[in-house]
Chain A
Amino acid sequence: MSLVITPWFGAVKIGDYIKRRGYEGAKKALSIKPEDVIEEVKKSNLRGRGGAGFPTGLKWSFVPRETDKPKYLCVNADEGEPGTFKDRYIIENAPHLIIEGAVIASWAVGIHRAYVYIRGEYLKFALILEKAIEEAYQRGFLGKNIFGKDFSLDIYIHRGAGAYVCGEETALIESLEGKRGNPRVRPPFPATNGLYDCPTVVNNVETIACLPYILREGGENFASLGVEKNGGTKLFAVSGHVKDPGVYELPMGSSLRELIYNYAGGVRGNRRLKAVIPGGSSSSILMADEIDVSLDYDSMIKAGTMLGSGAVIVLDETACMAEVLRVITRFYAHESCGQCTPCRQGTSWMAKIAERIAIGKGKKGDIDLLLDIAHSIMGKTICPLGDAAAMPVIAICDKFRSELEEQIRERRCPIERE
């Protein structure tokens, strides 16, 4: 089985990376026309790995080719979705994948300046990436006349200041401009009006890290690794009550059960599986009998949840759903930027109710109220953070209603623990 990203793990130094055929993809890209690079990426069925799953080649093609304005690439390394730690692994273990990917994307779209927006807490990884960028400059893979071509690219690292919402592409752009990280109203989209109002591509670290493979092995090869409309492989960050938590690379379309039991070693302590949050904390929770689902964007949506960032959080029978609800709602209330009403007011209200339920002060009718607030937020906010806050609440309240009601009635957690 071919893998796209993890085989390069460990090649932190540029010499090691080149030994493993590093920068061949970038060389290949620069030897063909930019349009053909975009075509290759379209063929690969690569979809945005940040969570939205938007086809990458299509996203690039929205950027105007001829324009008087400069164009920018923003590599989104503001990995903030709870449960997600895949981008950190890529940066830590194979930073040159990102640099090479950035060269490819920039050549394809006609970009000469790229920013890596990395979350503030990732200082160690920012330093690793900075070292790698230095190495790439020394070899002439960055800077002027890359590979002897009339093409230049500069990469800058920008560290975030700890706001989850800055992972949203327009908030990221605002933050990069030095402003408060509030998401922008769309349209216009960044492809035409992004950083400094110029055409901008924002791609996730993992998306960028897939590009060297696509260019080296061909788009069709990448597409064939996955399933229909979902090319390639995906990194899954498995955490929670499993024996072997960690980052695993699986082809698109693998089953969630396979990931949990064959890769992550199954539920720890041989306990029963209770539920799985399959795509980061904003994805709808799946119950134990719902995990025979194919891990690709479309199947997950059909299953009523989403692939998201590929952060799989496994919960065993000891997990208290009121506690899960409290942690998740508190997170979104804390991270709401506060600019639009439903998210600012609604997330905080939900968090307060969930907090009450968790400490045994729930009231009759709280579950219906939570559902009503969540539905009032859904689809009504400026950015997807509102939906991200509402979806898990709706799923937990629907699927674990009886447990939550018992908690409210009994004023304590109904889960028996030893």
Chain B
Amino acid sequence: MSNRKRIKITIDGKEIETYEGTLIIKAAEDAGIYIPRLCYHEALKPDGNCRMCFVEIEGLRKPVPSCLTPAKEGMVIRTDTDALKKHRSSILEMILTTHPMDCPICDQAGECALQDYYFQYDLKESRWREKKEKKPKRVHWGKNLIYDAARCIICKRCVRFLDEITGTQELGVFERGIHSYIGLFDGNRIENDYSGNLVDICPVGAITDLDFRFKSRVWFLNRTPSICPFCARGCNIEIHTNTKNPFSSQRVYRIKPRKNLEVNKWWICDEGRYSYEFIDSDRIEYPMARGKKTSWDSVRQEILKIVGKDVRLYVSAWMSNEELTYWMQIAKTFDWKLSLVGKPRGKGDEILKLPDKNPNRKGAEILGIREEIGHEEVAVVFHFLPVSLERHKIKIGIFTNKFEGMDKFDIIIPAAVFAEKEGSWTNFQGKVQNFQKALEPIGEAKSEGEIGEFLANTLGLDLQWEIGKYREEFEKELRKWNG
């Protein structure tokens, strides 16, 4: 769109530059002026139904919705006049007349547009003296979605999402006027791979997530920026955790997408959203020997047995760029062989999902690590079993979760999952993306970097795990690879 004309407009006295034809609501947001909205979502075609985002434009008789009005050269726009504040207050009052006001039991409370705007623009007693409309509640839409028509404000974001993004069109508006509600077309259920996004884009508590329902108030959650590990796209996510809930040992409560226009836009797939269970359950919390709990001291003894032997490291496509670089360094020092393991290919789609189900195959590719089977005496296996381990006599595993055949390993060292450490992955586009530590490693688990240091020290090598240093070295390789 570089051939579009740059223009100047004035919003609330601030002169800003934008492209001709940019919607005012967007131009304002880009300039740091937030115009309240309920139905507008930058990913979807504007619908203009909520009427919250009205602005005044000099020379126009009536206020106009800023989500439908393109910017033109020299426009003078006000977003904060008394008349507009009164208008927003009216819209909110009208919406709240039919709203059940059940914030105390609503999952959305704390991150609800209606709640926030009420405090910002309305904050007065309701003048509603009539009986509330009765509307369908607890409607199961399929998979993890529960719909409450009484809370719904008919902004149609959900309908438009299924129309414009997934193209699956399961939902429509039924009835009319005050009796309107969103419903499934006959014979439909929302079973598409992106259904969870409906919960995110619903500005109120009308669509809630069965997976999260009644589990935690949102203000108890810590939000940590991270990257989804489930395919090579590397969708930007936020991990929502709570380690202080006295009634539950659950640590991860939900995964939410983070906007990144170049990678995942505003969305994540349901696989990425709902597959966080592995972080908390079936974890290997202690070192294991032949399927039985053991001590770190015996791990050390076991490691010493490999001195002088041929070793092959099966590093995984789930390890970070830094860890891969570090382990390459270790392998080089001891003259060990190196190959790659990962999850098998799966299904991709046209929206986000890619067939490569590993977050960092690209990083390994950049470092020149290939998938191959070896026949050395010792195998050190990370995360995934290679096609065959038969030829290796000594098997050392570095795993996060319990699996079938654990007892065949001489030693298994408990590893931290991605949410328990920091690092970066290189996605299919070659973008290096950071994930941060959301949780402490479970039990005695350690990150692969720390495990590397432990192993190196045990073997008498003074090679410290310094994430910054190996990040730099990885970036050197990346620059070479990019030519």
Q: Which residues of A contact B (CB under 8 A)?
A: 163, 180, 185, 333-342, 344-349, 352-353, 356, 363, 365, 369, 372-373, 376, 379-382
Contacts and interface: CB of A to CB of B under 8 A. Distances in A.
A337 B176 contact: yes
B94 A180 contact: no
A146 to B, nearest CB: 40
B176 A163 contact: yes
A335 B177 contact: yes
Given A341-B95, A344-B180, A382 B129 contact: no
B217 interface: no
Nearest to A365: B127
B49 A341 contact: yes
B173 A349 contact: no
Contacts of B176: 163, 336-338
B49 A340 contact: yes
Nearest to A163: B176
Contacts of A363: 129
B153 interface: yes
Nearest to B47: A185
Given A340-B49, A342-B51, A376 B177 contact: no
Contact of A348 (B50, B52, B178): B178
A98 B52 CA distance: 42
B87 interface: yes
A390 to B, nearest CB: 12
B68 A345 contact: no
Interface string B247-260: 00000000000000
A356 B128 CA distance: 12
Nearest to B90: A376
Contacts of A352: 130-131
Interface string B359-380: 0000000000000000000000
B180 A338 contact: yes
15 contacts: A185-B47, A333-B178, A338-B175, A338-B177, A340-B49, A341-B49, A342-B90, A342-B91, A344-B180, A349-B97, A352-B131, A353-B130, A373-B90, A376-B87, A380-B87
Interface string B149-165: 00001101000000000
A338 B154 contact: yes
- The residue among A336, A339, A346 with the most chain B CB atoms within 10 A of its own CB is A339
B18 interface: no
Nearest to A333: B177
Contacts of A349: 94, 97, 128, 130
A185 B90 contact: no
B309 interface: no
Given A345-B94, A380-B91, A381-B51, 6 more contacts: A180-B173, A333-B177, A338-B176, A349-B94, A376-B87, A382-B48
B54 interface: yes
A369 B127 contact: yes
A333 B176 CA distance: 10
B137 interface: no
A341 B128 contact: no
A308 B176 CA distance: 25
Contacts of A338: 154, 173, 175-180
B153 A341 contact: yes
Given A339-B49, A349-B94, A380-B51, A334 B130 contact: no
Contacts of A345: 94-95, 97-98, 178
A286 to B, nearest CB: 25
Contact of B177 (A347, A373, A381): A347
B134 interface: no
B479 interface: no
Nearest to A340: B49
B39 to A, nearest CB: 9
B4 interface: no
Interface in B26-68: 47-52, 54, 62-63, 68
Nearest to B155: A341
A351 B373 CA distance: 77
A346 B178 CA distance: 9
Contact of A334 (B62, B90, B177): B177
A380 B64 CA distance: 8
A382 B63 CA distance: 12
A86 B317 CA distance: 76
B51 A348 contact: no
B203 to A, nearest CB: 12
A366 to B, nearest CB: 9
B56 to A, nearest CB: 12
Nearest to B68: A185
A380 to B, nearest CB: 5
Nearest to B54: A380
A381 B49 CA distance: 8
Contacts of A344: 154, 177-178, 180
Contacts of B177: 333-338, 344, 347-348
Contact of A339 (B63, B97, B154, B179): B154
B71 to A, nearest CB: 15
Interface in B155-207: 156, 172-173, 175-180
A185 B52 CA distance: 15
Given A339-B154, A341-B50, A382-B49, A376 B180 contact: no
Interface string B332-370: 000000000000000000000000000000000000000
B86 to A, nearest CB: 8
Contact of B51 (A337, A341, A365, A369): A341
Given A340-B48, A369-B127, A376 B94 contact: yes
A353 B98 CA distance: 14
B180 A356 contact: no
Contacts of B47: 185
A268 to B, nearest CB: 34
Nearest to B129: A363
A382 B65 CA distance: 10
